[in-house]
Amino acid sequence: NAGVTQTPKFQVLKTGQSMTLQCAQDMNHNSMYWYRQDPGMGLRLIYYSASEGTTDKGEVPNGYNVSRLNKREFSLRLESAAPSQTSVYFCASSEGSSGSYNEQFFGPGTRLTVL
């Protein structure tokens, strides 16, 4: 099993450009998440999808949109990139069923630089 995969691994954008970060999981998990990691800030939740067909905002959703395309895939879109969005982005998934312990599995990350 590949687990959680993310593309691209690295990306450089100019201010104002748009892009979509792709994430897929092959563990038949119900829940998926997008986090960003910044120095000294730990990981902060951008958006999550508790189950297919639902999405909810996290701690830092401004400037982002998400799409839960199907049970496997959860994409993150930056419509107009800003330098403040320079970060490392991690996708994660969890079983999400009632009674599960919410152990989350992480992808390798996308390192995004906005100039």
Partner 1 sequence: GNSVTQMEGPVTLSEEAFLTINCTYTATGYPSLFWYVQYPGEGLQLLLKATKADDKGSNKGFEATYRKETTSFHLEKGSVQVSDSAVYFCALSGQAGTALIFGKGTTLSVSS
Task: Name the site residues for partner 1 (rule: CB under 8 A).
Answer: 4, 30-31, 33, 40-45, 48, 50-51, 58, 90, 92, 94-109
- Tell the smallest beta-carbon distance from residue 84 to partner 1 (Å): 19
Q: What is the DSSP string of 48-111?
A: EESSTT--EE-S--TTEEEEE-SSSBEEEEESS--GGG-EEEEEEEE---TT-----EE---EE
Which lies closer to partner 1 via its Cβ, residue 41 or residue 82? 41
Which lies closer to partner 1 via its Cβ, residue 19 or residue 50? 50
Which lies closer to partner 1 via its Cβ, residue 49 or residue 85? 49
Write the single-letter amino acid at 72. Answer: R
